[in-house]
Amino acid sequence: MRSLLYLVAVILVIAWIFGAFVTPFGGNIIHVLLVIAIIAVILGVIRRA
């Protein structure tokens, strides 16, 4: 389960980078993706501890 969480986080960060720098449109949804990725990583760290 932990590896799946990290996979989702990596995909969301890549989508954020693509959306923020390659095609700079879409409003605040780009930043929501980054927040979701950070939350996924934090949950993975908390569950591992």
Residue 1 predicted with pLDDT over 60? no
Residue 49 predicted with pLDDT over 80? no
Q: What is the pLDDT of residue 43?
A: 82
Token look-up 């590896």 returns 3
Q: Are the beta carbons of 34 and 16 closer than 8 angstroms?
A: yes
Residue 40 structure tokens: 């996924």
pTM: 0.53
Read off the pLDDT band of 23 (50, 70, 90). low
